[in-house]
Every structure is written in C-alpha cells, then in structure tokens.
Chain A
Amino acid sequence: MIYFDNSATTMPDDRVLDTFVKSSKAFFANPSSLHRLGIEADRLLERASEQVAELAGMPGGKVVFTSGGTEADNLALFGLARGNRSHGKKIIVSAIEHPAVLQSIPQLEAEGFMVERVHVGRDGVIDMADLDRKLTADTSVVSIMHVNNETGAIQPLEEAGKLIRAKTRAVFHSDTVQSFGKIPVPISENGPDAISVSAHKIHGLEGSGALILKKRHELQPILFGGGQQEGLRSGTVPVAHAAALAKAMRLSVEERDLAPYADWRNDLVRYFGTFSKVMVLGSENNAPHILSVAIRGIKGEIAVNALQEREIYVSTSSACSSRSRKESHVLQAMGVPDDYRHGVIRISFGRMNTAGEIEKFKEVFNSFMETIERV
C-alpha cells in the first residue's frame, strides 16, 4: 500500500500510540482531582502543555487542548472575536481558509461581526494589497492559514503580520494544521499570535488538537462547564491525548528533515510536466509535502479510483469536501480553468513515505494516463 493522502490524515506513529496507551494506563486520574493520582496526572498535563507551547515557538504561552483543528479554529475565531470587541467588530480571513473558519462566518455575522475575505492570486497566495485595503483600525481578529490544505500554497504570514501590526491592534491567528511539523511556522515578532494544530495530521490521533497562544489575548471560552483549562475549555482534560499530542509534535519537529519532501515534490512536478493534459497547481514556492495537479477533461475521482485499484491512495482536492461534490472554493478562488477544475487530485506526503513509492506511483500513473488517452 502506498498512502499519499497525508493531508487528510496520517498513519499514527507507533511511538505516539505507545505514549497514549501508557499515559492512559498510568495517568488515568482526572487531573482536576485533589488526590495524589490527580496531581500526578496534572503534572503530566502541565509538562505536555509546556512542551506543546515550546514546540509551537511560544514558550510560556497558553495552550488550550481541543478535540481537533476545527474546534481550535472555532475557539480562536469566536473566542477572540467576542473577547476583543473593544478593539472593533471587524474580522478578516483569507478566502481559502479551511471550512472550520469559513463556515463560522455566518454565525459570526449573526452576532454582529463584520467579516471580510482577502482574495488570493492564481498561485493561491493571498493578495497583500487586498489585505492592506481591508485592514482598518477597527479590525479585531485576522485569521490566515499557513499552508492551504488543497494546494499547499504557503501564505506569507510574517509579511501579513507586519501589515496587521502596523495598522491594527488585531489578534493574528493562523491555522497551521497543514504546516506544523512539515515546514517551520514563523513565530517571530511579526508572526501569528495564535496557531491551531491537529494531532492526526502529524502522525498522532484523531480527536485531538490545540489552540496555542502567545498569551491569553482576552480569549473567551466557547464550551462551558466545569471551568477546566483555566476556564478556556470546560470538559475533563484528556491527559493521554495531551501527552500524545506533545509527543507527536516533538517527533514531527525533530524528524521534519528526515523525509526529503521537496525532492519528491520536484521530481513529481518534472514528471507531470511531461503530460500535456496535466497542470500542476500552485507555484514552486508551495509547501513541499502537498502537490495538487489538475487533469484536463476527467473527474478527479476517476483518478482516485484508478490509483486505488493499484493500492495507491490519493484524494481529490480535499478529503473534507471531496465527498460533498461541491466545487472547491479554493480552486475557484485561484481561477483554475473550467476544463481542469473537476480533475484535481492531491498527493500529500508523510513521514512514512519512501522514495521507492514515488517511482512506483509514476509507473501506475503512466498506465492510468494511457488508459484515459484510449477512451
């Protein structure tokens, strides 16, 4: 089996599973309990939290463990928007955000916030002039993803941050679900104030993620109850998930350079260049672990089906939307030509892929292309 759908989810790393099992057994107590078992679980939780903040480049920052990337994004948007009303009621997001952000907009608008979307160019990168135009002094939250989940386009967070800081007092959030552990996230002075991460995209477990903030930034909770996590997210904190996330983040950062994603991607870009019917989407500056290509005149799912016959797993534009058969908002935003737009497949690498698998893929893709030529 060759698994090239790592942007949808990754295979959990055995070492992460090991942490999850061991922590679940040895530190099962509720970390809010007063007794010794609770205190030990709480110590593990605190250490995991510290490690997560450090790996995010925000040592000493706030970590809110969540059920995943979507909750982290929702918490960032609603929590920061509601908590920072005094700065203004305007929220700016990019047009190519994950649905976890974009689908929050109607509710934000219903609560009286004004939301503006920043356009992207053909390369899938936000238009800085447009961002500049839309940023006004009453902007309270800006959310721009780091790496787009469909195209791999890297958004210039530091440049955007510079503009945001120059013109507003807004809190700057970035969805780094697709980039964390794959490429360095720029947490400098101009980088984001808060980032979302998801465990299952970095060989961790589904159902686990975090919102990490340099400081609290007036974040308001969106879940109410027992006041866990300093009131920022009620609900018994899943200590084993927190430890497993910390471990997955550490491994993904430490072993980031072991898999030569860029070599594989460049190799495949050259390879796809030999087909007149195949168009590589996004620019060469894209994140090295995601490669989207459009095939003229066919539907993406045909390619997905054909490849899986030979045990190769890729996806159409993005797994979240691929079954809904809606046209991708990202591809629309990028202006991909009509006769290509339906034939997009996404190949995304993970730590467990090998160079041999790239060669095998080419072989299988060759025969697939021969088949469709004959039709």
Chain B
Amino acid sequence: MMYHEIMIRYGELSLKGKNRNVFIRKLRDNIRRIMKDLPTVKVKSEHDRMYLFAEEGQEIEEALERLSDVFGIQSFSPAVRCKADLETIKETAKRILSDMETEGKTFKVEVRRADKTFPLKTIELQQEMGGHLLPLFPGLVVRMKNPEIRLLIDIREDGAYLSTKTLQGAGGLPAGSNGHALLMLSGGIDSPVAGYLMMKRGLKLDVIHFHSPPFTSEQSKQKVVELAERLSAFGTRIRMHTIHFTEIQQAVQDAVPSALTMTTMRRMMMKIADRVREEIGAKAIVTGESLGQVASQTLDSLSAINEVTTTPVLRPLIAVDKLDIISIAEKIGTYETSIRPFEDCCTIFTPSNPATKPKTDKVIYYEGNADFGPMIEKAVAEREIIELPLKKEEDPFSDLL
C-alpha cells in the first residue's frame, strides 16, 4: 500500500491554553525544516492535527523515519486520503486490508468525524464499514479491546483519512518553544544526554565547548561537533561556541595548589559560559552533572563551582544513574561518538588528588594569585562560532565509491 499522507497528533501541547498556537507554529516550522531536502513534502497544521503530504512514496518513508525524533509529537500514522463518500471509503479500506495479513487477526474500525456534515453518524459508519469488510476478509475476528488491526477512519472536510498503523512520537514539547539556554558540551556521555532532555522540554540550545590545543586534538573537537550536530537533529539549529582554553588552564596550574586546580578550572569554565550566555541572550546554563559521579560533582564541588554565577544552572541528570544515562545516550545515538577515546580538556590537566570537598573561600583566595578577568574576556571574544547542522559539503568520496 502506498501512503501519501502522514497524520500527526500533538503531544502535551494540546493542553497549553494561550500558547497553543505558538507551540503549533513552532512544531510545524521544525518539521518543515527537517524535511527541507524532501522536495515534494508539504506540511499543513490544523487545530488538533498536523498533516504531512508527499507525492513520492519514498519521501513518505523517509519522513516517517525522521518524525520519530521530533519533539512535540505524541504519535503519527501513515494514511491514505480519499474522497469522503461511503463507496470510496469502502473501496479504499478494502485495498488497505488486502495488503495486510488478516488471517486470524483481531480487528476493529474506529471512526472520527470532524466533518459533521458527513451523512452517516460515527456509529453508523462504523457498523457500515464492519459489515462491508468482515465478509470480504473472513479471517478477521472483531475485538474492541487491543485489536491487532485498528482501522482508523478520520472524516474531515478535505476528505477521509484511513490508516492502520500508529507510531509512537518522541513526546515532549517542540524544540525552541520554551526559551533559550547554553549547554556545556564536553565530549563525554552525559552532556549530550542533558542537552537532549532539555531540548525535549522545548529549549533551544547553543552549546559551548572548551578546547585546549595542542593538548587536545582536532579529533576531540570534531567529536563534539558531531555530538552537537546529532542534537540538532532533534529540533532547532544549534550554534556551537568553541573556547580556546589552554592559556587559562596553564594560568590555573600556576595560581592554585594542585588539589584545587580542578575546582578553579570548572569555575573559570562556568564564568566563561555565563559571559557567552549573556552575549547570546540565553536564560540558563545546562550541564550534564550527576551528583557524586566524579570529584567535581560532589555537593561541595558543585556549590563551589556554582558560586560564580546567579544564572539558573539546569542539571537534568543530577539524580540519574550512570547506566540510565548510558541507555538514553544509546537511544539517541550519541553513545558511540561519546566513547571515542580522545583526550578532552577536563581529563588532561586532572590532578592526581582533586579535592572532593573544596572550600569556596580557599579557592577564591588562591584565584587572587592571577588576574583571570582579562583572560576570560579574551577567551570569550576570540571564541569560534559555527552553526549546526553543517551545510552539507560535497561528499569527497561520492565519486570514488
């Protein structure tokens, strides 16, 4: 059966009163953007549903795959549209079922009648369809609860939509519908997951990454670009800010005792992130910290690091176990990239004995040994900014392979 339409049901946003239209528009724009390279795809939003059309069957297949990653969608169904008259609907339903294995399957017809001018009432149409289809497919067994085949007939003003398959959407709220934050993205497993979870709640993200050449390689940066690019598949475009951090790291080594270098380094990162956040007009900072996971994530450390800012720091993983984080990372396709073994700037200068209970006043005292202010300003000013997803460059291998 060739489908040309996909019916998209909104998730939680059906509940949102006044903002509803904003959410719907955002969702529609997000869907349009990720379908941009599919030339025959059109998206139309209505009050309670969104419809995606494509002339090419292949584009529908591709669209079905991509929709499962889009936040703000509760579920979606490939559908066939036909004229909303009884004979045509019967004929279409018969065609759909003939392509399916019906022998011994439980079955139910469900009707929604948004167009109240349709001559048959919901129940009448259900009965009419059942009466027509059951003799044609004698293997079907009617069952109202959890049928294996659920034929949905949606009568609308522009026609009848028939579908038998409902696919689970990603849930959440449309990316970018709930404000703007800055994600601190290392190359590890946690921070992309934190970003994902916040995007799912509708945040638009910029990401910031700290790079310490020559101690960290081009590959370790490339890995972070890939992670950010993967995150951008879940909604909005993402800007990535790369900070050259080598000079500050060296200054930290000189200024504070080795047990505290890690705390100070994190504080500097947080300060820089906060300055960038201010410049881009974001309202919060997102991190992948999980309580107690490493020395910098004890409550004392978090508190000493957090002391540099009053900006809300969102830590969606604070109470999540490592194994659960990993399983989300696997699900969203960032795990394989995250575990590639390149040094990042956090691991390279790690002291052998970092303080797990740093005293904030002590840390501040030692930081007085160096003048970090100008260095921070310089790092912020000289950051590299790229937009993701990257424009598809010519594939250098396409004519080879």
Contacts and interface: CB of A to CB of B under 8 A. Distances in A.
A246 B401 contact: yes
A94 interface: no
Contact of A243 (B218, B219, B401): B401
Interface string A1-40: 0000000000000000001001100000000001010010
Contacts of A247: 400-401
A39 B401 contact: no
B346 to A, nearest CB: 21
B397 interface: yes
Interface residues of B, number: 7
A48 interface: yes
Nearest to A243: B400
A22 B218 contact: no
B397 A47 contact: yes
A36 B400 contact: no
Contacts of A39: 219
A175 B218 CA distance: 41
Contacts of A36: 218
A267 to B, nearest CB: 35
Interface of B is mostly: loop
A223 to B, nearest CB: 24
A51 interface: yes
A19 B218 contact: no
A19 B401 CA distance: 7
Contacts of B397: 43-44, 47, 243
Nearest to A246: B401
A256 interface: no
B400 A51 contact: no
Contact of A48 (B218, B219, B399, B401): B401
Q: Identify which of B217, B218, B219, B397 gathers the most chain A CB atoms within 10 Å of its CB.
A: B397
A366 B397 CA distance: 49
Contacts of A43: 397
A51 B401 contact: yes
Nearest to B217: A34
Nearest to A27: B400
B397 to A, nearest CB: 5
Interface in B367-385: none
Contacts of A329: none
B224 to A, nearest CB: 16
B400 A22 contact: yes
A250 B218 contact: no
Nearest to A19: B400
Contacts of B218: 36
B400 A250 contact: no
Interface string B209-249: 00000000111000000000000000000000000000000
A47 B401 contact: yes
Contacts of A23: 400
Contacts of A250: 401
Nearest to A249: B401
Contacts of A51: 401
A246 B401 CA distance: 6
B400 A44 contact: yes
A47 B401 CA distance: 8
B262 to A, nearest CB: 27
A19 B219 CA distance: 27
A23 B400 CA distance: 7
A48 B397 CA distance: 9
Contacts of A243: 397, 400-401
A245 to B, nearest CB: 10
A215 to B, nearest CB: 15
Nearest to A48: B401
Q: Identify which of B217, B399, B400 gathers the most chain A CB atoms within 10 Å of its CB.
A: B400
B19 to A, nearest CB: 41
Nearest to B395: A47
A62 to B, nearest CB: 15
A45 B401 CA distance: 10
A22 B396 CA distance: 12
Nearest to A23: B400
Contacts of B217: 34
A44 B400 CA distance: 9
B220 to A, nearest CB: 12
A36 B399 CA distance: 21
A47 B397 CA distance: 8
Nearest to B219: A39
Nearest to A242: B401
A34 B214 CA distance: 14
A246 B399 CA distance: 12
A63 to B, nearest CB: 13
Contacts of A246: 401
Nearest to A250: B401
Nearest to B222: A39
A247 B398 CA distance: 10
Interface in A226-254: 243, 246-247, 250
A347 B400 CA distance: 32
A247 B400 CA distance: 7
A39 B400 CA distance: 17
Interface string A94-107: 00000000000000
B223 to A, nearest CB: 12
Contacts of B399: 22
A36 B217 CA distance: 11
Interface in A80-99: none
Interface string A107-149: 0000000000000000000000000000000000000000000
A53 to B, nearest CB: 13
Interface string A263-294: 00000000000000000000000000000000
Interface string B144-172: 00000000000000000000000000000
A233 B217 CA distance: 28
B393 to A, nearest CB: 13
Interface of B: 217-219, 397, 399-401
16 contacts: A19-B400, A19-B401, A22-B399, A22-B400, A34-B217, A43-B397, A44-B400, A47-B397, A47-B401, A51-B401, A243-B397, A243-B400, A243-B401, A246-B401, A247-B401, A250-B401
Interface of A: 19, 22-23, 34, 36, 39, 43-44, 47-48, 51, 243, 246-247, 250
Nearest 10 pairs of A and B residues by beta carbon: A19-B400, A246-B401, A47-B397, A243-B400, A51-B401, A44-B397, A23-B400, A247-B401, A22-B400, A48-B401
Given A23-B400, A44-B400, 14 more contacts: A19-B400, A19-B401, A22-B399, A34-B217, A39-B219, A43-B397, A44-B397, A47-B397, A48-B401, A51-B401, A243-B397, A247-B400, A247-B401, A250-B401
